[in-house]
Structure 1
Amino acid sequence: MVKTAFLFPGQGSQFVGMGKNFYDSDPECRRMFEEADEILGDSISEVCFQGPEEKLKLTENTQPALLIHSIIALKRLRDHGINSVLAAGHSLGEFSALVCAGTLRFGDAVHLVRQRGRFMQEAVPVGVGAMAAIIGLSAEQVQQLCLSASSEDAIVQPANLNSPEQIVIAGHKEPVEAVSEKAREQGAKKVVALPVSAPFHCKLMEPAAMRLKAEMEKVEFKDASIPVITNVEAAPNNSGDKARELLFKQVCSPVRWTETMQCVIDQGVEAVVELGSGKVLSGLMKRFSKDIRCYQVGDEESLAKTVAELK
């Protein structure tokens, strides 16, 4: 069997219709959607399948929707006897990775990411914060620009270190715009303002982190059956207690995805499978390493193709 890692996407990968194919084709997948609807007290399945897109894009809906789709895709892949030696998830996807590793129960994770989405949305009034993707400058250059543009009450920080050339920044709107302009002047290939409702993974998220910590204290975190590479440390972790602590820190810390991809390679992995919506993480890995085989499972068709390749 090919030595495989499972990757779990974060916000931005959602789409109307996500998970519907699995729901229609597998009774157990249908039951998992019904369980999630019951936990959340509303029909997240309807939001996933029918939208509208604006409703699906609300952070409190996006986060559980992505986790549910990912874990259902994981269930279907495991139905075919394919498993992983480690897991990693981008931001919200770390919760999915912890479900994969047996640290979190599916139902607990669904509840926590709904709360996480609400807390993050409520932490900063709409219009106060912003995020932007800077392409073509190094992490060190972007970090320096952020330090130069920041003050005590005007914060901007690197939020997602997605690849050696793609850094997302987050913070107050004005310094984010100032860094974006400076990045263009310094020769960035592209700077894109992101259509997000809050500035994730920066100090402005501290109120959300504290509220999430209180919720996570009520939930059992078991030690993991396989290592999960965490966003905060970009290193494998098996401890349930440490997983909880790092999810708290993750809310205000950058997602160290470039180092996570290197960690996957250092573990001797031969293939990665992105589970759930979109192909963002498998696409980043393809560009990062030509030696890793990359697959994605989001419906029965992609499942069949991936199973055939890995077996």
Structure 2
Amino acid sequence: MSKTAFLFPGQGAQYAGMGRELTEAYPAARRVFQEADEALGFALSRLCFEGPAEELQLTVNAQPAILTTAVACLAVLREKGVPAGAAAGHSLGEYGALVAAGTLSFADAVRVVRQRGRFMQEAVPPGAGGMTAVLGLDAPAVEEICRRAGGAGVVEAVNLNCPGQVVIAGDTAALERAAALAKKAGARRLVPLAVSAPFHSSLMRPAGEKLAAVLADVPVAGLQFPVVANVTADYVRAPEEVRQLLVRQVYSPVRWEESMRRLLADGVELFVEMGPGTVLTGLLRKIDRRAACLPAGEPGGLEKVLAYHGEVG
């Protein structure tokens, strides 16, 4: 088995201009953007390359845009013969991991995540909920704070990202109460996230139910290599698990730190972060500073991945 794992980022990694240099440098990347435009029926590529940023940040656009940029990176590495033994994706990034493993076609995945984004946005009225990153407290402490703040509404620990970084989500009043308790408990910093809904909280269950109906019609093939699921922090090995886990993922915590520790324990030596940004590279360094992770969202990063495999291959 290859000791390389591909990682796919979630919402928040988007920026205007992403993917443009990839498509200029690699025909394989350009073909992925063309496929996305055809699958969605509008010029997603133009939105990625040119913005405007306000439109790109909308959940319904950001999710397919990030997935497309990540799969464009994947297409280049595949064409160059870079192997992977496993994959994982943060939130919507799990769709990219499943595309990499051959479980979902890219055209199906990009259509599903656009609808997923719409369902998640519609599940809670604008301004009624949100998300906040709590820095400097461990997960058990944050979970206890959420329990104490629960009298004001729903608030839950939803992204268990790395030591000292837990994202909470829920009703606005409960979120504010939890943030105040976290500050009192010694949190180093509280960072409200630029999202308009409490993703991965139980408030997203209606979105999960709508997504289940969409996924029921999507073909799911066998996995060419294991994918670590957000919900379980364990490998998905059978195609019949895929739909169920993707539905649960919408309203369940993302167990990212556990997922990375699973891959590290199983001998992964190199992590390659697909798509825009370096968020997952940063998280991995906080989980294990010895772990090797190369971001591949731009041609320069891709060339470093190719050089690494050229040296060890």
Question: What band does the TM-score fall into relative to the shorter chain?
Answer: over 0.9
Partner residue, 1:62:
62
Partner residue, 1:293:
292
Distance 2:176 2:194 in 1: 14
Answer whether contact 2:2 2:85 (CA < 8 A) is retained. no
Partner residue, 2:71:
71
Q: Where in structure 1 are there 5+ consecutive unaligned residues?
A: none
Distance 1:80 1:139, change over 3 A: same
Partner residue, 1:89:
89
Partner residue, 1:269:
268
Task: Give the drift of 1:146.
Answer: 0.7
Amino acid at match of 1:69: T
Partner residue, 1:123:
123
Task: Give the drift of 1:124.
Answer: 0.7
Q: Aligned with 2:5: secondary structure?
A: strand
Q: Aligned with 1:87: secondary structure?
A: strand
Partner residue, 1:230:
229
Q: Where in structure 2 are there 5+ consecutive unaligned residues?
A: none
Task: Give the drift of 1:2.
Answer: 6.6
Partner residue, 1:110:
110
Answer whether contact 1:270 1:291 (CA < 8 A) is retained. no
Aligned residues: 310
RMSD, aligned α-carbons:
1.3
Distance 2:170 2:45 in 1: 32
Please state if 1:308 is matched with 2:307: yes
Q: Aligned with 1:264: secondary structure?
A: helix
Give the ranges of 4+ consecutive aligned residues of structure 1 lying more than 6 Å apart after TM superposition: none
Answer whether contact 2:28 2:79 (CA < 8 A) is retained. no
Partner residue, 1:240:
239
Partner residue, 1:221:
220
Q: Aligned with 1:150: secondary structure?
A: helix
Partner residue, 1:156:
155
Please state if 1:35 is matched with 2:35: yes
Q: Aligned with 2:130: secondary structure?
A: strand
Answer whether contact 1:225 1:238 (CA < 8 A) is retained. no
Task: Give the drift of 1:28.
Answer: 3.2
Distance 1:230 1:221 in 2: 15
Partner residue, 1:24:
24
Q: What are the superposed Cα offsets for residues 216-273 of structure 1, whole Å, 9 maximum, x if unpaired?
A: 0000111211000000000011211101100000000000001011001111111100
Q: What are the superposed Cα offsets for residues 5-58 of structure 1, whole Å, 9 maximum, x if unpaired?
A: 110000111111111112222333222212211211211111101101000000
Partner residue, 1:140:
140
Answer whether contact 2:32 2:71 (CA < 8 A) is retained. no
Distance 2:280 2:32 in 1: 24
Distance 1:102 1:193 in 2: 36
Please state if 1:172 is matched with 2:168: no
Distance 1:15 1:150 in 2: 35
Normalised by the size of structure 1, how large is the TM-score?
0.97
Distance 1:175 1:114 in 2: 29
Q: What are the superposed Cα offsets for residues 182-209 of structure 1, whole Å, 9 maximum, x if unpaired?
A: 1000100111111102110001111110
Answer whether contact 2:2 2:83 (CA < 8 A) is retained. no
Amino acid at match of 1:261: M
Answer whether contact 1:2 1:271 (CA < 8 A) is retained. no
Q: Aligned with 1:15: secondary structure?
A: coil
Normalised by the size of structure 2, how large is the TM-score?
0.96
Answer whether contact 1:133 1:166 (CA < 8 A) is retained. yes
Distance 1:124 1:243 in 2: 25
Q: Aligned with 1:76: secondary structure?
A: helix
